[in-house]
Amino acid sequence: MKLYPRLFLSHLLVILIAVGAMLVLTELLAPAFVRHHVEQMVRLIGPDGASLRPDLERGMRRTLNSALLVSLPLALLVAALTALLSARRVVRSVTLLRDGSHAIAAGEYRRRLPEEGRDELTDLARHYNRMAGALERVEQGRVELISNVAHELRTPLAALRGYAEALRDRVLAPEVASDAIVRETVAMERLVRDLSLVSRVEAGAVELHPTDFRPGELLRAALERFEGAAQDRGIHLALQTDDPLPRVTADFERASQVLANLLSNALRHTPSGGSVTLAAHAADGRVTFEVRDTGSGIPEEHLGRIFERFYRVDPARTRGEGSGVGLTIAKGLIERMGGTLTVTSGPGGSTFGFTLLAAHTGST
């Protein structure tokens, strides 16, 4: 039997049982109630009133039963309508959930259910819509990832094919072509490596080795690594820190990787004659590291998406200068170490900052 008639019949059965119970209780309790009052009346009017007892009981029974029988059809009609509406509400919600689940199974992640009312069925529809929205975002991410990977691989593959054809046709010397092929192969290896890392970061599968270290060690290592590149670009690289700073607890290599990514981006987008500043300060049990540049800044409409995989503010300018997942990896690593990665930007430049937990065991 279908759900709708089952619910309707079950509601109707409960109502019929309630009506039957009411009739039985009336037959059991009403005569005793009338008998008690008749006895009081007999005491008042004397022995002649005793003959009225049977007539009063019969009259009471006839009147009560007649009233119940007359009201019974109306009660059954109201009960049937109530059962009908209640069963229809439940069945409608179940049907919508069934159709929605079939749509999700078929890949229609945009299907949503109406959220009408304030009962548990409405809560169920609301949670279903949240699940559908999450699945839709996952599916969009999967499609975008495949598209972006294909796009990223297209350039080095086209270059490899061109150099291979030039080598075959003897347009380029073997030494020149081989160097170019190695360069493009290295770029593809870097992309594959970054994709593997970003997938592990997003899955929370990156192994971390937290230690206590001084923030100055991290900053000085980054300064030494990028000082030459900054000089080659005509950019002033400065260091600015509070003194003293508490030690932090984090994975030194991963924190260095994040700082290197932020510094590399800052140098790439700062024109010659500009400056990039490494800064650190402590507050509320955390140490905040900042990379400030004097570049053109990031338009406000892009700030909310720069941590997405392969998202670029200016694809034409930055294509080929990185894998496009560096900030995604950086954000995931910092969050795995208990910190946060933020960005602020304006016409005078951008500031990327990340926090690490203070160890409170010493100072820089």
Q: Block means of pLDDT (10 residues each) for the chain, length 364 residues? A: 64 72 68 63 62 67 71 73 73 80 82 78 84 82 74 81 87 85 84 82 85 93 92 93 89 94 92 94 93 90 82 55 78 94 90 91 47
Provide the pLDDT for residue 362. Answer: 45
**Helices 52-105 + 120-168 axis angle, to 10:** 10
- E-strand ranges in 206-293 read 211-213, 236-241, 246-250, 275-283, 286-293
Taking alpha carbons only, the member of 198, 274, 289 closest to residue 233 is: 274
Provide the pLDDT for residue 319. Answer: 45
Q: Is 357 left (phi over 0), alpha (psi -120 to 50) or beta?
A: beta
Provide the pLDDT for residue 84. Answer: 74
CA–CA distance, 115 with 262 (Å, rounded to integer)? 44
CA–CA distance, 156 with 139 (Å, rounded to integer)? 27
Provide the pLDDT for residue 186. Answer: 84
Q: Is pTM beyond 0.75 here?
A: no
The residues, ordered by sequence, that sit 6+ positions from 336 with a Cβ below 8 Å of its Cβ are 201, 204, 206, 208
CA–CA distance, 74 with 13 (Å, rounded to integer)? 16
The helix or strand, by DSSP H or E, that contains position 47, with its residue range, turns out to be none
* Domains of the chain: residue spans and CATH: 3-108 (no CATH), 126-202 (1.10.287.130), 211-363 (3.30.565.10)
Provide the pLDDT for residue 350. Answer: 93
